[in-house]
Amino acid sequence: MNTTGIQTGPGTESGLLDQFGRRATDLRISLTDKCNLRCTYCMPAEGLDWLAKDAQLSAAEIRRLVRIGVDTLGVRELRLTGGEPLVRADLVNIIAGLRADHPDLPISMTTNGVGLAKKAAALKAAGLSRLNVSMDTLHEETFKQLTRRPFLDQVLAGIDAAAAAGLTPLKINAVLMRDINDHDGVDLLTWALERGYELRFIEQMPLDADHGWTRKDMVTAAEIREHLSTKYVLSVDPRARDGAPAERFEVRSPSSEAVLGIVGIIASVTEPFCSDCRRTRITAEGKVMSCLFSREEVDLRTLLRSTDDDGAIAQRWQEAMWAKPKAHGMGHTGLGDADFVQPDRSMSAIGG
């Protein structure tokens, strides 16, 4: 027990432990809630009520939180996300500051790739380790339908620039939507294999701002595997999964033993991996979310702005993680389960 009466485990040396014995070592920080796309599975067409600039964590506050996470709470890797991190004007400075503090920390970023072509080299020079770029289709019209914006060319140019800058291994994230891009998986995989990128499919989760998700429309991991198997042979990657959300598969053509590359499938809904979750998330306004589907949020911004005591911030963060739910509650039947309520925040407002 600590002075607040909340049991958080034995102390800072225990890191971000929860009551089910999981320890979060993978920190995801959202740099902004704003975005220049309107993906239908994430944002409404009109956007959201964006945070005011001073409500958002500053570069110095982000740097301080990461220092606390790494130096005292056992954080071992960092992912920058959003909203769209590239829309943050001080992004390169944020990365340079984090890299100066933590020369060996793996720092990755998830981006939609819009505007990436101009910034990739600067991101690499500032110390970014690698990138995930989200791209759900190679077809301009489908891209426009999914993201409500005509920017596929920019995304493709951004991916090329990221590879040229050495932001590798480069991963491509794709969400498949029924009757929209559910037949694009094979083309995406062929394109990624030809370029040496690791494609990862993410099952659509009920985190859209429009609350339009339905289980019947969700393309499942099993369907994705079946679809990819129309052209390729998939076999489970023998390397240990080691807490990774994606189940990885070696990809071969039916006529050869040679491994062409790896594809990952993140089956958050139908094959959840909550029991091995190592993630802790901080929203753009400084709230800890112990789980993507958490309805509890713990504010760190007030402490960041009112005390020099890093120990108090570490303790509040630990308390938030101690209360991490055992699982997201979708079970195997999904939305409609008695114990599952879709969170108010959409993916962009959490930091995916």
User: Quick one: what does residue 8 bind among ligand SF4, ligand SAM, none, with the CB cut-off 5 to 8 Å set by partner type?
Assistant: none
Among 43, 128, 202, 218, binds ligand SF4 (CB under 6 A): 43
**Contact flag: residue 176 with ligand SAM (CB under 6 A):** no
List all residues 6 or more positions away from 218 whose beta carbon is below 8 Å from its beta carbon: 178, 203, 204, 269, 334
Q: Which is nearer to ligand SF4, 193 or 205 (CB)?
A: 205
List all residues 6 or more positions away from 238 whose beta carbon is below 8 Å from its beta carbon: none
List all residues 6 or more positions away from 351 whose beta carbon is below 8 Å from its beta carbon: 28, 29, 30, 81, 82, 83, 281, 282, 283, 284, 289
User: Quick one: what does residue 38 bind among ligand SAM, ligand SF4, none, with the CB cut-off 5 to 8 Å set by partner type?
Assistant: ligand SF4
Of 69, 8, 1, nearest in space to 319 by CA: 8
Q: Which is nearer to ligand SAM, 68 or 202 (CB)?
A: 202
Taking the complex as a whole, the smallest distance from the CB of residue 303 to ligand SAM amounts, in Å, to 26
Q: Which amino acid type is present at position 48?
A: L
List all residues 6 or more positions away from 209 whose beta carbon is below 8 Å from its beta carbon: 42, 43, 44, 48, 346, 348, 349
**Contact flag: residue 205 with ligand SAM (CB under 6 A):** yes
**How is 146-173 classified by DSSP, letter by letter?**
HHSS--HHHHHHHHHHHHHHT--S-EEE
**Contact flag: residue 25 with ligand SF4 (CB under 6 A):** no
Taking the complex as a whole, the smallest distance from the CB of residue 31 to ligand SF4 amounts, in Å, to 11
Region 118-177 residues binding ligand SF4, contact defined as CB under 6 A: 134
**Contact flag: residue 37 with ligand SF4 (CB under 6 A):** yes
The tokens for 283 are 């929203």
Number of H helices, E strands in the chain: 10, 14
**Contact flag: residue 38 with ligand SF4 (CB under 6 A):** yes
User: Quick one: what does residue 40 bind among ligand SF4, ligand SAM, none, with the CB cut-off 5 to 8 Å set by partner type?
Assistant: none
**Contact flag: residue 197 with ligand SAM (CB under 6 A):** no
**Contact flag: residue 42 with ligand SF4 (CB under 6 A):** yes
Among 8, 40, 173, 290, binds ligand SAM (CB under 6 A): 173
Among 30, 72, 112, 220, binds ligand SF4 (CB under 6 A): 112
Asked if residues 64 and 310 have their Cβ atoms less than 8 Å apart, the reply is: yes
Q: Can you say how many angstroms the Cα of residue 167 is from the centroid of all Cα atoms in its chain? A: 17
User: Quick one: what does residue 204 bind among ligand SAM, ligand SF4, none, with the CB cut-off 5 to 8 Å set by partner type?
Assistant: ligand SAM
Asked if residues 58 and 108 have their Cβ atoms less than 8 Å apart, the reply is: no
Region 26-55 residues binding ligand SAM, contact defined as CB under 6 A: 35, 41-42
Q: Which is nearer to ligand SAM, 201 or 317 (CB)?
A: 201
Site string for ligand SF4, 56-85 (x = CB under 6 A): --------------------------xxx-
Q: Which is nearer to ligand SAM, 111 or 294 (CB)?
A: 111
Element (H, E) at 116: helix 116-126
Burial class (CB in 10 A: 0-12, 13-18, 19+), 182: middle
User: Quick one: what does residue 272 bind among ligand SF4, ligand SAM, none, with the CB cut-off 5 to 8 Å set by partner type?
Assistant: none
Length of the chain in terms of residues written: 352
Task: Give the span between the Cα atoms of 41 and 34, in whole angstroms.
Answer: 15
Where do contacts with ligand SF4 occur on this chain (CB under 6 A)? 35, 37-39, 42-43, 82-84, 112, 134, 347-348
Binding residues for ligand SAM (CB under 6 A): 35, 41-42, 81-82, 84, 110-112, 134, 173, 175, 202, 204-205, 207-208, 347-348, 352
